[in-house]
Amino acid sequence: MTSAVAARAADVEAIRRQILAVYRERTPRSAAEFARAAEVLAGGTTGNLRHFDPYPLYFRSCGGTRMVDVDGHAYIDCFLCNGPLLLGHRHPAVEAAIVGRATLGSIVVNPPLAADLAHAIRDAVPFAERIRFLNSGTEAVLTAARLARAFTGREKVVKFLGHYHGQDDQFLVGLDPSGLPLGAGIPTNAYAASVLLRYGDFEALEKALAAGNVAAVILDPAMHSGGLWGSSPEYLAAAKELTRSHGTVLIFDEVITGFRLGLQGAQEYYGVTPDLATYAKALGAGEKIAAVAGREEILRGLYPDRPAGAQAVFQSGTGNDGTAGLAAGLAAVTSYRKLARDGGYRALFARSENLAEGLRAAFARRGVPAHVNQLGPMLQIFLTEAPATFESCAGISAWPNELFYLALINEGVLLSLPTSNHVYLSFAHTDADIAEIVAKTATVLDRYDFGALVRAATSGAGRVAH
């Protein structure tokens, strides 16, 4: 290591220690909660992304755009539990809907409430000719793929690099440009029928479909997991025409974009309608519910009285009739329809654009190399000198981002969990919230030299352990 690189590493370590020291001083009860949880919970949390160094925050209450941790500190929340809370925490209509159906019980078989929600979804998203409810986005995606395979009699499914479709083994691969599985324990035969392609490469898609063995093409129109690079309306329209010509089912994974990019999600935003779509997150406004929806002839495989020639498709789930999820979903969809009528989406998008521009200006004024990707009420930040592409940003060092989000946590802003880089705004966020976030970002950037951190990461000088 040269003396210059060693000096940069020392500077990075000093900044890192300062940020962590403030965090540890503010959050002793979270430290104690983590120690207690680690005795019984694998990793001390209920999901890998919930952990970050030196230990995660633990929360005791929430409301609107704010959460309060176990040490009593309040935070503006822009993580929103990774997106479900598009209406904010404890939305009154959602809470009232759940309480109002308390006498129904936590779960009963075939409640009329399920049809109520399905009709509300079809009224909001007319493409949804038939709907099946499930418990999670993962279940919705694997069911959509199963339906497509049964409908077409084919096995292959095209999946794009950088697109996340839940935790089923067949799709937990190709989250980055390497095309490798995400973590251990995933057998190669689990994703043998997944055809991995680079998103936007239309020639590669044409070639894959020409083989005649592709049941479905699945995509996340936001390319959220890969860095929020979005889609081209022209590409989506061309993909729809291509899949139609080859008898292939086009699936939009709208677990994230559904009801978020507009009342009709990405379909409305980009002006392209798929054959099937999957929903979760915003659909339940924090409660557990998901759905697969789309063309009646494809979902016909689930019918007990399906017509001759239709392949029988099995799907069931103990929690599909959960009262809280169905009630919350009905209240949420009803609220989204009213917001769409009253200009709520326009206001939400405008606030998101203001936040993105405020963050870009704060970084630029202080010479911090950064890309701020924004699509509707979603943002992601890349602290890097690398070009703004999926491939280049997928390979950057993540620790400058992690320290930035941790430093903001110290200022009372949960812009994202440090291990996530997923930033969301809700309909509950106000102009005052946006102004406070931008102001606190300026405070963090004035206090710590993040420009030096980014340059150190580029040179490899900042690879220090927490």
CATH number of the domain at 206, please.
3.40.640.10
Q: Would the pLDDT of 4 be above 70?
A: no
Q: Which of 341, 364, 381 is the last residue of a domain?
A: 341
Q: Which of 341, 361, 390 is the last residue of a domain?
A: 341
In this prediction, residues 242-263 reach a mean pLDDT of 98
Q: HSE on the CB side for 221, CA within 13 Å? A: 36
pTM (2 d.p.) = 0.96
What pLDDT digit, counting tens, does each position of 360-406 carry?
A: 999 999 999 999 999 999 999 999 999 999 999 999 999 999 999 99
Tokens representing 314 are 């099995």
Assign 458 a pLDDT band (cuts: 50, 70, 90).
confident
What pLDDT digit, counting tens, does each position of 253-305 carry?
A: 999 999 999 999 999 999 999 999 999 999 999 999 999 999 999 999 998 88
In this prediction, residues 422-431 reach a mean pLDDT of 98
Q: Are 112 and 223 found together in one domain?
A: yes
Tokens representing 240 are 């729809």
Q: Would the pLDDT of 462 be above 90?
A: no
pLDDT at 3: 58
Q: Are 115 and 46 found together in one domain?
A: no
Of 156-160, 276-280, 307-311, 342-346, the poorest mean pLDDT is in: 307-311
Residue 464 maps to a domain? no
Contacts of 119 (CB under 8 A, 6+ apart): none
Residue 374 maps to a domain? yes
Residue 204 maps to a domain? yes
Contacts of 249 (CB under 8 A, 6+ apart): 147, 148, 151, 152, 215, 216, 217, 243, 275, 276, 298
Q: Are 295 and 336 found together in one domain?
A: yes
What pLDDT digit, counting tens, does each position of 296-326 carry?
A: 999 999 988 877 777 899 999 999 999 999 9
Say if residue 54 is preceded by a cis peptide, omega within 30 of 0: yes
pLDDT at 1: 53
In angstroms, how far is CA 358 from the centroid of its own chain? 22
Q: Are 224 and 167 found together in one domain?
A: yes
Residue 173 phi/psi, 5-degree rounding, is -150, 150
Q: Are 152 and 239 found together in one domain?
A: yes
pLDDT at 98: 96
Residue 86 maps to a domain? no
- Whether the CB-CB separation of 32 and 420 falls below 8 Å is answered with no
Q: Are 33 and 182 found together in one domain?
A: no
* Listed residue (250, 248, 436, 464) closest to 358, CA to CA: 436
pLDDT at 465: 42
Residue 87 maps to a domain? no
Residue 4 burial (10 A CB sphere; 0-12, 13-18, 19+): exposed
In this prediction, residues 48-59 reach a mean pLDDT of 94
d(CA 252, CA 262): 15
CATH (domain of 397): 3.90.1150.10
* Listed residue (171, 322, 334) closest to 253, CA to CA: 171
Q: Are 276 and 130 found together in one domain?
A: yes
Q: Are 348 and 334 found together in one domain?
A: no
Using DSSP's 3-state secondary structure scheme, residue 259 falls into coil
Residue 417 burial (10 A CB sphere; 0-12, 13-18, 19+): buried
Q: Are 116 and 162 found together in one domain?
A: yes
Q: Are 283 and 249 found together in one domain?
A: yes
Q: Are 162 and 277 found together in one domain?
A: yes
Assign 35 a pLDDT band (cuts: 50, 70, 90).
very high
Tokens representing 39 are 């005795």
Assign 2 a pLDDT band (cuts: 50, 70, 90).
low
Residues 271, 123, 85, 353: is their CA dihedral positive or negative?
A: positive
Q: Which of 323, 341, 359 is the last residue of a domain?
A: 341
Residue 343 burial (10 A CB sphere; 0-12, 13-18, 19+): exposed
Q: Are 134 and 267 found together in one domain?
A: yes
Looking up tokens 């063995």 gives 213
Residue 84 maps to a domain? no
- Whether the CB-CB separation of 129 and 200 falls below 8 Å is answered with no
Residue 215 maps to a domain? yes
Per the structure, the complete domain to which residue 362 belongs is given by 3-77+343-459
- Whether the CB-CB separation of 250 and 240 falls below 8 Å is answered with yes
Q: Average per-residue pLDDT in the chain?
A: 95
Using DSSP's 3-state secondary structure scheme, residue 63 falls into strand
Number of domains, the chain: 2
Residue 465 maps to a domain? no
* Listed residue (1, 46, 115) closest to 461, CA to CA: 1
Q: Would the pLDDT of 20 be above 70?
A: yes
